[in-house]
Amino acid sequence: MNILHVETGRHHFGGAAQVDLLMSDLRRRGVRNILLCSPSAPIAASQSAALVIGKPVAGDVDVRLMAWVRAAIRRYRIDVVHVHSRRGADIWAGMGARLAGVPAIVTRRVDNPEPKWIARLKYALYHRVIVISTAVEATVLAAGVDSSKVVRISDAVDLSVFRPRTPDPALRAEFGVTPGGFCIGMVAQFIERKGHRDLIAALGDVVRVLPDVRVVLCGQGPMQSAIEREIRAAGLTSHVLLAGFRDDMPRVMPVFDVLVHPARREGLGVAVLQAGASGVPVVSTRAGGIVDVIIDGQNGLLVPPGDPKALATALEALGLDRVRRRRMAEWGRQHVEAHFNPETMGAAHYAVYIQLMS
């Protein structure tokens, strides 16, 4: 079985990391993976599970992708084309597969709505639309996509890499966490929908209840400078650290006593999965696919999106209750092992490929 994966993202987190996990599992099943991606993308350099075709995809208007897909189909005798990225790929790669007469799949990762006329035209190119959560599934169906095409397959996390560990004392010291102090972590791009502003608004109350709290923000993005200014204006610089993008998250995650994920919109939330696998309880919102991962009161606490007061109350509750955090951590690891493992994700995709080939 020869599968052409199209991933045009520029980073190696979120969707691209999921493509890596999937291809690794598929290779163990005997699948030959061919990956079409940017030659400068981190996923190209990291590959051991796929043959890489490096092409400089310029964006949504780069029609060359259609020809590149058709050429790859001919050269590598592709059985199924799997498009993983929206950036310049979900139209042109789908058209390339359609013109070559090869079945194609697209994975939809986000829950923001699309105009129905665009959705009808785009998804008509595909034999299956894979969605990563109930929220994304609802968005796709609301756009008028035929339900017989839609398959829900959740994201996964590498359980051998993200696992419960004793927090690294040197790293806690580097982050400015005092001995016995309470550390809240957030791992997200600095973009509006991730909810950084709601967290900053909540922290004033949290600091009054938990004066030794340390908040570590991991990530980068266009809003980073604005968030830094808001932290200074709120008088929170002694409590909040902007740690930048980290490529050692398996080591970082266990340093957190709680992961906070105050998203306004979210397809599923890879950081939430990583926290669960690492034995870290989560305080998050009932946004998008997060409710597929977090069972309120079991492996974390859920609050309404855009409600800093409720967010503060939940963080304070876990900050004051070490026993409850430990119980949530144990349950969270079991939950991720059962429902969000790479083997389950790979088997579900493999079944879709077989179905289309037959």
Quick: pLDDT tens for 163-212. 999 999 999 999 999 888 999 999 999 999 999 999 999 999 999 999 99
Q: What is the pLDDT of residue 86?
A: 67
Q: What is the mean pLDDT of the chain?
A: 92
Tell me whether domains 2-156+341-357 and 169-339 share a fold. yes
Tokens for 353, please give them.
């490929």
Residues making up the chain, counted from first to last:
358
Tokens for 120, please give them.
């009808």
Q: Grade residue 15 by pLDDT with cuts at 50, 70 and 90.
A: confident
- Which residues are paired to 26 by β-bridges? none
Per-residue pLDDT reduced to its tens digit, 258-297: 999 999 988 888 899 999 999 999 999 999 899 999 999 9
In this prediction, residues 27-43 reach a mean pLDDT of 90
Q: What is the pLDDT of residue 38?
A: 85
CB 200 within 8 A of CB 235: no
Instruction: Give which of 322, 333, 207, 313 is closest to 262, Cα–Cα.
Output: 313
CB 37 within 8 A of CB 43: yes
Pairing of strands 51-54, 32-37: parallel
Q: Grade residue 27 by pLDDT with cuts at 50, 70 and 90.
A: very high
**Domain extents in the chain:** 2-156+341-357, 169-339
Tokens for 7, please give them.
């991933």
Q: What is the pLDDT of residue 236?
A: 95
Q: Grade residue 130 by pLDDT with cuts at 50, 70 and 90.
A: very high
pTM over 0.95: no
CB 268 within 8 A of CB 132: yes
Per-residue pLDDT reduced to its tens digit, 232-251: 999 999 999 999 999 899 99
Which CATH class for the 2-156+341-357 domain? alpha beta
Q: Residue 227, Cα to own-chain centre: how many angstroms?
A: 22
Q: What is the pLDDT of residue 13?
A: 63
Q: What is the pLDDT of residue 275?
A: 96
Given a cut of 70, whether residue 44 has pLDDT beyond it is: yes
Q: What is the pLDDT of residue 117?
A: 83
Q: What is the pLDDT of residue 12?
A: 61
In this prediction, residues 301-325 reach a mean pLDDT of 96
Q: Is 169-339 a CATH 3.40.50.2000 domain?
A: yes
**Cα–Cα distance for residue pair 225/268, rounded to 1 Å:** 26
Given a cut of 70, whether residue 87 has pLDDT beyond it is: no
Q: Grade residue 119 by pLDDT with cuts at 50, 70 and 90.
A: confident
| Percent of the chain residues topping a pLDDT of 90 | 76
Q: Grade residue 88 by pLDDT with cuts at 50, 70 and 90.
A: low
**Cα–Cα distance for residue pair 229/204, rounded to 1 Å:** 15
